[in-house]
Amino acid sequence: TQLLEQSPQFLSIQEGENLTVYCNSSSVFSSLQWYRQEPGEGPVLLVTVVTGGEVKKLKRLTFQFGDARKDSSLHITAAQPGDTGLYLCAAYSGGSNYKLTFGKGTLLTVNP
Amino acid sequence: KAGVTQTPRYLIKTRGQQVTLSCSPISGHRSVSWYQQTPGQGLQFLFEYFSETQRNKGNFPGRFSGRQFSNSRSEMNVSTLELGDSALYLCASSLAPRGASPLHFGNGTRLTVT
């Protein structure tokens, strides 16, 4: 069973600061997804990274897929209170029981 | 376009009872997946349905079951509720199963078992 480990588990920062959260595994993935979940809502897909070494940008968010496709990072520049939420990475496991496995997430709080 | 709708939003049940949760997917989406979210275990996959057939199942006991109707709406049932079943149950819909298209999540049903 593949395991996605996210760090840090909790992060509290001030508005305007930069931050990076990580998603690591011993398994190789064909692709990896990042979601953000706000309180009282379901997760929303932010990005899917597919190619080793790939970098994708979504406004102030930068996503990177490791060269070996075992890890990924999410960097937020000049964080804003609206970035507050639970950031989850997820990947599909192969085989007959194909399913989406999630990390436990990084809970980010951006204070004004 | 309406999103994924889950009902009810909140539910309080007693140990030993059973519960049925409902999920209406985005129009045109034929695949529905269910997840359980708890603080300790995070998001865990329960099962996936496509064209009224269960395609995949997670590692949950047989007390957890589901079904999908011809209009793609889905229900999940939990029988003989235990305290540990207290969780947020999330439903997600997609155009196709097994990761072929992105998942769209509903806002969940918060189940509390007392």
- Residues of chain B under the 70 pLDDT cut: 1
What is the DSSP annotation of A12-75? EEETT--EEEEEE-SS--S-EEEEEE-TTS--EEEEEE-STT-EEEETTEEEEE-TTSSEEEEE
Which residues of chain B have a CB within 8 Å of the CB of A43? 43, 90, 105
**Which residue type occupies A76?**
I
- Residues of chain A under the 70 pLDDT cut: 1-2, 94-96
CA distance B35 to A73: 24
Return the pLDDT at B2. 77
Q: What's the angle, vertex CA A27, arms to CA A24 and CA A33, rounded to 5?
A: 60
Return the pLDDT at A36. 98
Return the pLDDT at A2. 57
CB atoms A100 and B102 under 8 Å = no
Q: Does B80 touch chain A (CB under 8 A)?
A: no
Q: Residue B78, Cβ neighbours under 10 Å: how many?
A: 25
Return the pLDDT at A1. 53
Question: Which of B4, B42, B103 faces A100 most closely, judged by CB atoms?
Answer: B103
For residue B9, give both structure tokens.
């939003």
Question: Which of A44, A99, A103 faces B58 most closely, judged by CB atoms?
Answer: A99
Which residues of chain A have a CB within 8 Å of the CB of B104? 45
Closest C-alpha to B54, from B37, B77, B38, B20: B77
Return the pLDDT at A3. 85
